[in-house]
Structure 1
């Protein structure tokens, strides 16, 4: 394994990689429960979705590890699965209802488009086209994004839309009042305190430089959650659990291409493609940065380029198995934070996803507070890249800030990258025409600039 995954060359070892892979799995195992709930509303069989989620995540995460030697895991993307279930399936065009089979066909086609863009190296050109300052901003933005996911999922953070509702009703918000959009969660909830305990446990273990701090923190937090009086975790569910998967319920190759064009799904294909393009780019660049792959820029670009191909195949492959768009997961940063640097990390995660087909009840025991605490800590670690951004140069600083801010505040990685691109092209152009300093604007940045504007005008902010 050391030779195959080049562990010595990458400055790691088998124990560290396996621990990192387990950590990544623990932080994203929630998708096994959440994806069936989200897509179940679209008319697909929920158990079939569970099978598709575990199989797709296992197969393509293993592929990422074995063929790319990259410590990133893949699974159906949150956000795009909600778009699939609540926007595509519920919409009607030209009087025709859109079925799950049509929507899966749309996802499959978007994956084919990705494969073409990757083979022709258009996606890889993004690595050269986007300035280094924006790449570091993507890392920081993703850190804040996954931290706010952890805060929201744990209940430590709650969101109130009442100020916006008051404004929409014609009542201006009283700026002197204590009413805000973001609130501290209900401290009477045991799950909130369990998250705080998890944060402290992981933080203390990391300060003490304990190997596997995040993973051990998740496990300890899970055990605390089972203490009587806390009751966040219950082992009673194991008694009536089903341990043998029923593969006959898998929605394999459930496509309807015949009515694809008559039901207005072209815009859905465009949305799937655009959002996944930037989401994956952001995640791969952010995690590669965190892992130190860009110390050798040429080698880093090559590795991310190969990862993009596996990701492209995964989109179509996931649709074939019966789930919405597959994507690289930002939670992979948790494994990288534990020292994961090779494909052995993602291979371990992939194997655990495949085992979860048989051990689903155990995998689903890990409570949300435990994984939420881990995600918040990972956000702290990814914030370190902010020191690489030159905010004194406003041509870089303003786009970088917009990239960082828009990801968590709009709950969308693609929005952050989009606003960063628009701001950089405009400001760099102005500086080149009227300022003293010249900035490079890659020709692909101009194409992205036009596509981003067109996307928001014609498709909107869906996804």
Structure 2
């Protein structure tokens, strides 16, 4: 036995191993194949897959101008002034620290408390909605930055209550499947559009006068300026920006090749390659031109290792909403809805990927705790000034490396903590280095388009409208509202016509419609409330279900064949429930065994299908 195996064995048999249910810990729900060294390696893989968010999120949020002030009524050109540019640079550095800090906190406690191998960070898509719709570029959106982070702060507490009371699952299931899938696709196209523009992308397309969009690709200094706004490119300068070509080949093609060969950290490798090429001063694509802003950025970059305290975005919530009440409510509802879908979908997908799903309830152990950790992280992140945080699908990289427990997420959180002290490096990553990342993330998100039910118009048309309006209106909220309203209108009319005709007028292919139900497996009421209503003193601990002969644990009674008994957990079994089928031990039982529980079976008839 090598030294690594000895460490794995020692930790597995310790209190740490029992808490995280490592293989060999003796825990009645130990996760087979999990060990300390594998979890550490998986956590590193997750960090390298997620770490791009530090630079990308900071770059996107800084586009809003944050708390920087600019009186356009007195000076319409103040946004292009040196003072405002220096302030935005400071906002970006704040966001570097804030993004790394909240990712570290959220991921660490997701692992420690929920025992899930899932990393948490500000969500892609939500940060774009926050920056370009709610606050707007340089504060030209619906509400000021301070009001927007107030909405996120409140949303976190609402999220917490919904998770605690079990309503979060119901809300996620109440949305039609086609709209859920279309939301992911629409956000993917929205991110792609952002990645193609100048502000946060490679500058391949730009707004024009005669058409909404046109091909660009010229240097920022060569763009046509009209009424103080930079528009298109002169014909002779199109596609001649060296930064764009470096981004396409080094940040795009190079990254795709690495991803095809499953190289860990492929995305961050592409970002770093483009950044390194852009750092030398005196070149056509340098990120540090000889200007006041360039000199300030270069001085900060040369520190390499430095802690930058959050100075401009920390706890800037504004509670005097004034005339922003309606827009505040719209932003709050949209943040809440997308967070529910995004986080729920990602957590369920990652739990399934790690083989942690319960086949009976279609839920995973610690789901309520995981949701509450995410909700608390949302509110803390709002105090730091970041958009809503969510579970990251890039956690699949760590799970693919063998991560099964919270040690994976804790390792990821520790890596994010270390990255806080490398703020000068992350703050010096140019927009064209992260533009291709947005395009690649968008390409991964639109793959859900194949799962949309295109055979039934009542599902297909609302989904298509949702997808189309998100990028074309530059608003996730507008796409969601249009899609949901159209779905309700179309399907309500079909239902009314069918009822009025006595069932004679029915769409010819209605049988292909996606089934919908408000019911969820295991019921709406969370199990801790069920146990509390039964008078169980330690209601926070799950009952253990034992079935079959010889399925005892310690001095517990042995039920006969086919019997089901709920056994109260004791100090030796601090979490979860034990399920043993027909006398087989957990080690011998196959994953296909059906396990009986005290919960009545969930109705899954032909007309009631759940995601």
TM-based fold match above 0.5: yes
Decide whether aligned partners of structure 1 residues 366 and 402 sit closer, same or farther in structure 2, where only a CA change above 3 A counts.
same
SS in 1 for 2:421: helix
Aligned to 1:39: 66
Match of 1:411 among 474, 488, 496: 474
- Judged with a 3 Å threshold, the aligned counterparts in structure 2 of structure 1 residues 256 and 116 are, in CA distance, closer, same or farther, namely same
Q: CA deviation at 1:17?
A: 4.1
Paired position in structure 2 for 1:202: 255
CA contact (8 A) 1:148 1:408 kept: yes
1:160 aligns with 2:211: no
* Among 381, 385, 390, the residue aligned to 1:328: 390
Tell me the TM-score normalized by structure 1: 0.72
Query: Using the alignment, how far apart are the partners of 2:437 and 2:95 within structure 1?
Result: 26
In the TM superposition, what whole-angstrom CA distance separates every residue of 1:57-83 from its partner, at most 9, and x where no partner exists?
432243334434253433383443566
* Residue deviations 1:180-230 (CA, integer Å, cap 9, x gap): 524343322222112211211122223334444334333334344457856
Query: Structure 1: how far apart are the matches of 2:395 and 2:117?
Result: 11
- Contact 1:124 1:301 (8 Å CA) reproduced: no
Evaluate the alpha carbon distance shift between residue 253 and residue 149 of structure 1 in structure 2; reply closer, same or farther with a 3 A threshold. closer
Change (3 A) 1:253 1:356: same
Q: 1:409 to 1:111 in 2, by over 3 A?
A: same
Q: What are the Cα deviations for residues 277-336 of structure 1, in whole angstroms up to 9, with x where unaligned?
A: 123134325545765838958545777765443332233323444x2543327xx44554
Alignment equivalent of 2:440, drawn from 359, 372, 377: 377
| 1:219 alignment counterpart | 272
2:108 corresponds, among 62, 68, 78, to: 62
Alpha-carbon distance in 1 for matches of 2:432, 2:137: 29
- C-alpha distance in structure 2 between counterparts of 1:194 and 1:79, whole Å: 27
C-alpha contact 1:113 1:273 (8 A) present in aligned 2: no
Within 2, Cα distance between the matches of 1:421 and 1:78?
21
Deviates more, 1:138-147 or 1:242-251: 242-251
Residue aligned with 1:270, SS: helix
Query: How far apart, in 2, do the equivalents of 1:429 and 1:104 lie?
Result: 37
Distance 2:310 2:275 in 1: 33
* 2:205 partner SS: strand
The aligned residue for residue 166 of structure 1 is none
Against the structure 1 CA distance between its residues 147 and 107, is the aligned structure 2 distance closer, same or farther, given a 3 Å change threshold? Answer: closer
**Other structure's SS at 2:66 match:** helix
TM-aligned CA distance change 1:252 to 1:184, over 3 Å? closer
Structure 2 counterpart of 1:392, from 426, 430, 455: 455
Contact 2:67 2:312 in 1 (8 A): no
State whether residues 108 and 410 of structure 2, in contact with CA within 8 Å, keep that contact through their aligned partners in structure 1. Answer: yes
Cα distance, 1:26 vs structure 2: 1.7
Q: Offset of 1:420 from its aligned partner? A: 2.5
Match of 1:167 in 2: none
Is residue 2:324 matched to residue 1:274?
A: no
Q: Deviations over 1:93-150 (max 9, x none)?
A: xxxxx99877765553343333333333333212221233333323322332332232
Deviation at 1:256, TM superposition (A): 6.6
1:113 aligns with 2:158: yes
2:51 counterpart SS class: helix
Local SS of the residue matching 1:205: helix
Match in the other structure for 1:363: 426
Q: What does 1:180-195 align with in structure 2 at a 5 Å threshold?
A: 180-186=212-218, 187-195=239-247
State whether structure 2 residue 173 is matched by structure 1 residue 128. yes
Residue correspondence of structure 1 range 246-395 to structure 2 within 5 A: 247=309, 249=311, 260=320, 263-264=322-323, 266-285=325-344, 287-288=346-347, 291=350, 293=352, 298-299=361-362, 306-321=369-384, 323=385, 325-328=387-390, 332-334=392-394, 336=396, 339=400, 347-395=410-458
Q: Decide which moves more: 121-130 or 206-215.
A: 206-215
Task: Quickly say closer, same or farther: Cα 1:81–1:442, change in 2 above 3 A.
Answer: same
Report what 1:80 is aligned to: 130
| In 2, Cα distance between equivalents of 1:308 and 1:233 | 40
Q: CA deviation at 1:240?
A: 4.2
| Cα distance change of structure 1 residues 373 and 417 upon mapping to structure 2, 3 Å threshold | same
Structure-2 separation of matches of 1:217 and 1:5:
36
Q: Please state how far the C-alpha of 1:24 moved relative to its aligned partner.
A: 1.2
**Distance across 2 between alignment mates of 1:276 and 1:150:** 22
SS at match of 1:358: coil
Q: SS where residue 453 of structure 2 aligns?
A: coil
What is the TM-score when the length of structure 2 is the normalising length? Answer: 0.56
Matches within 5 A, 1:95-106: none
SS across alignment from 2:454? coil
Distance 1:9 1:388 in 2: 32
Report SS of the residue matched to 2:455. coil
CA–CA separation in structure 1 for the residues paired with 2:194 and 2:345: 17
Deviates more, 1:143-152 or 1:31-40: 31-40
d(CA) in 1 for partners of 2:310, 2:270 = 38
Matched residues, number: 418
CA contact (8 A) 1:192 1:369 kept: yes
Gaps of 5+ in 1: 93-97, 164-178, 445-463
